Structure 1
Amino acid sequence: MKKTFASDNYSGVHPEVMEALLRANTAHAGSYGADEYTDRAIAKFKEYLGNDIEVFFAYNGTGANVLGLSALTRSFNSIICSDLAHINVDESTAPEKFLGSKLITIPTKDGKIYPHEIQNKIQRVDDQHHPQAKVISISQSTEYGTVYTIDEVKAISEVAKKNNLFLHMDGSRIANAAASLSKDFASFTRDAGVDVLSFGGTKNGMMFGEAIVFFNPEPAQYFKYIRKQGMQLHSKMRFISAQFEALLSNDLWKRNASHSNRMAKLLEAELKSASVQITRPVDANGIFAMLPPEVIPALQQEHYFYVWDEKTSEVRLMCSFDTTEDEVKSFGNALRRLLK
């Protein structure tokens, strides 16, 4: 398949990550995380996020989110999130099925949710007839490609603490957020009051693998059992761990994310040059724009992408670590040609 703007999940594996996988594919190593690769990968996470964290690896983002949330909730609880949150619109009914909790959604125009909106959803506390709010879940970067500032995360954390709630962050594109903010991971996670983080690797050059990071030790206490019960304990853990060790070494995560963010900015410029309306701020590696419906099928034949909203012809264009300037320019040229 030719390279596309459909998703950063479409990209392959970064060569440095593939080399790490090949190096791990020698001799025998302990299973279920009892290996030197896992020890080194966890040490890398601690370099970035602090020595007192707990880190657990999982196969995929849905597993990381659902299991991380399961450590924070009971079946009578509710989770407050954006109506666009991945846990609400792109993880089927996995959260509801495995958590038993209710998702309380907030409509959003920019992908973010704000303190006053969250506070309004914390209702009927201690009422046995009503689900009890226990978690606020935010995405960084958001499903609209926008990025929460450090102050915005801190403000949400203050609401969580005031109401005895946990703050969960879905960081499937956390590297893109960090590159956009020009800040280290800790500044907008642990230092901003996040309790549990899903740290994504697949969308930033890994073959597979995500991490669940606990900044709050209490919910991590029994997580090794939760991960096993949730079918996310990888027997050959070294093949996840080796990838994370590579991603967090030599600034590979930053190089990949900064490149995909920069390609998004170039693509935004190409769209603007064609007088196309950009509908959301381009903070990270995603662009949302309105295209005339009559040009979409022909353009998709040359550069595949997804239509985000069929009613309005809003499309989503995603850049990856391997997106090239030539591909961006080719998209712009094709768009201008079709719009004539």
Structure 2
Amino acid sequence: MPPFGSDNYAPTHPEVLAAIAAADHGYAVAYGDDPWTARLADRVRELFGAGATAFPVLNGTGANVISLMATTSRWAGVVASDVAHVNTDENGAPERVGGLKLLTRHATDGRITVADVEAWAGELGDVHRAQPAVLTLTQATELGTVYRVEELRALVEAAHALGLAVHVDGSRLANAAAFLGVELRALTTDVGVDIVSLGAAKNGGMLGEAVVVLGPDDAPTPGAAAARRAAAEAVPFLRKSTMQLASKTRYVSAQLLAMLDVDPTGATSGGEARPLWWRNASAANAAAARLRAGVEALGTDAVRVTRPTEANAVFATLPRAAADRLRTQTRFYDWADGETPDRVEVRWMCSWATTEADVDGFVRALAESL
């Protein structure tokens, strides 16, 4: 049985591998001065707006740290959910590498609120406090929930009103967009987001992400426009100094292009040609929805789904002993304590490669473990 621990466990999608192989032909100038990176820049402008700039990097943590450093200063703070990836799973990289204090707020379902942003207003101008300078939003969240378009717009407006930039950790941005049935631009450019960590590895890529700075002309305020210009100027230097500039950038850019370009074979969804990011994210989301339905169909209180299933994660509680028995057949992670000491909350992740047979086999194994 395949693992359900993380979408990072999934293999690289064949179309991405083909793109890497196609890029592995002859010589190309290093450090991003190559045709693939130039084409990626064009494609990002097509998708995110004429002024958007793309900077391929090696991994998601690097993309996040660079984005936050580019929109802050050394005495600044980053407003975030307490379960945001930058707070829980990046080994203090924003603090260690960026020198930035994380200003967290408890988020029951992973989503930060306008009130959470405005709660930091009193810190502004106080020399004794780290100055809130950027709001980071994880989309989809670590709890598998998704910010709606209007929620994002309200958060961006609240942040900009306080002079904060807005960053989106988009390692699963594709899953959020597929769930909502919108394009990537609708969750970024159109709501006023300033800078994005654009994910690929969790959605069929091999390695590599991109920092995308949105265009100044699309900024909702003059202050945001100025911040975006400054960020776009800073990212190239930050990328190098944080060891995120690949010498053979073409291989990262080729992967991102494979994800973002419309499928030339005409693969469709609802009668429209769809890019690989959409197809992969939709498949992962559908697998999670099937998994949740299968768990609920067991009809037992021994296993209880605990959170909304909106992207590609299912959270549930079950007896610890049952979880241990199930783990002899597949891999997954404990998330939190359960309702009682003998129970545990677990996270089951699906990927683009998770098949219906994989899900059904998992549900059968779960039933046996209970």
Shared fold (TM-score greater than 0.5)? yes
For 1:46 and 1:129, locate their aligned partners in 2 and report how far apart those are by CA, in whole Å.
Answer: 41
User: What residue in structure 2 maps to residue 222 of structure 1?
Assistant: 234
- Render the CA deviation track for 1:43-81: whole Å, top value 9, x for unaligned: 221221112111101000000000110001112111110
Would you identify which runs of 4 or more consecutive aligned residues in structure 1 move more than 2 Å? 121-124
- Render the CA deviation track for 1:248-284: whole Å, top value 9, x for unaligned: 1221111100000000000001111123311111000
The size of the alignment, in residue pairs, is 338
For 2:145 and 2:244, locate their aligned partners in 1 and report how far apart those are by CA, in whole Å.
Answer: 29
For 1:15 and 1:272, locate their aligned partners in 2 and report how far apart those are by CA, in whole Å.
Answer: 33
Deviation of 1:311 after TM superposition, in Å, equals: 5.3
The more displaced of 54-63 and 36-45 is: 36-45
For 1:310 and 1:327, locate their aligned partners in 2 and report how far apart those are by CA, in whole Å.
Answer: 27
User: What residue in structure 1 maps to residue 368 of structure 2?
Assistant: 337
- Render the CA deviation track for 1:162-195: whole Å, top value 9, x for unaligned: 1011011000001001100100111110110101
Does the CA contact (< 8 Å) of 1:78 and 1:134 recur in 2?
A: yes
* Structure 1, unaligned runs of 5 or more: none
SS in structure 2 opposite 1:134?
A: strand
Superposed, 1:143-222 pairs within 5 Å as 143-215=142-214, 216-222=228-234
For 2:313 and 2:86, locate their aligned partners in 1 and report how far apart those are by CA, in whole Å.
Answer: 19
User: What residue in structure 1 maps to residue 218 of structure 2?
Assistant: none
For 2:356 and 2:141, locate their aligned partners in 1 and report how far apart those are by CA, in whole Å.
Answer: 24
TM-score for the superposition, normalised by structure 1? 0.97
> Is 2:237 aligned against 1:246?
no
TM-score for the superposition, normalised by structure 2? 0.90
Which residue of the other structure, out of 286, 289, 304, is the alignment partner of 2:316? Answer: 289
For 1:164 and 1:338, locate their aligned partners in 2 and report how far apart those are by CA, in whole Å.
Answer: 52
Deviation of 1:23 after TM superposition, in Å, equals: 0.9
Deviation of 1:41 after TM superposition, in Å, equals: 1.6
Does the CA contact (< 8 Å) of 1:53 and 1:217 recur in 2?
A: no
Deviation of 1:89 after TM superposition, in Å, equals: 0.5
Deviation of 1:310 after TM superposition, in Å, equals: 4.0
SS in structure 1 opposite 2:78?
A: strand
Deviation of 1:218 after TM superposition, in Å, equals: 2.8
User: What residue in structure 2 maps to residue 257 of structure 1?
Assistant: 281
User: What residue in structure 1 maps to residue 272 of structure 2?
Assistant: none
Which residue of the other structure, out of 355, 361, 365, is the alignment partner of 1:324? Answer: 355
For 2:37 and 2:116, locate their aligned partners in 1 and report how far apart those are by CA, in whole Å.
Answer: 40
Does the CA contact (< 8 Å) of 2:52 and 2:212 recur in 1?
A: yes
For 2:43 and 2:329, locate their aligned partners in 1 and report how far apart those are by CA, in whole Å.
Answer: 40
Does the CA contact (< 8 Å) of 1:54 and 1:217 recur in 2?
A: no
SS in structure 1 opposite 2:346?
A: strand
> Is 2:306 aligned against 1:279?
yes
Does the CA contact (< 8 Å) of 2:70 and 2:230 recur in 1?
A: no
SS in structure 2 opposite 1:151?
A: helix
The more displaced of 147-156 and 217-226 is: 217-226
Deviation of 1:222 after TM superposition, in Å, equals: 2.3
Taking only the aligned residue pairs, the percentage that are identical comes to 42
User: What residue in structure 1 maps to residue 75 of structure 2?
Assistant: 76
SS in structure 2 opposite 1:287?
A: strand
What is the letter of the counterpart of residue 256 of structure 2?
F
User: What residue in structure 2 maps to residue 266 of structure 1?
Assistant: 290
Deviation of 1:294 after TM superposition, in Å, equals: 1.2
Superposed, 1:14-93 pairs within 5 Å as 14-93=13-92
Deviation of 1:205 after TM superposition, in Å, equals: 0.4
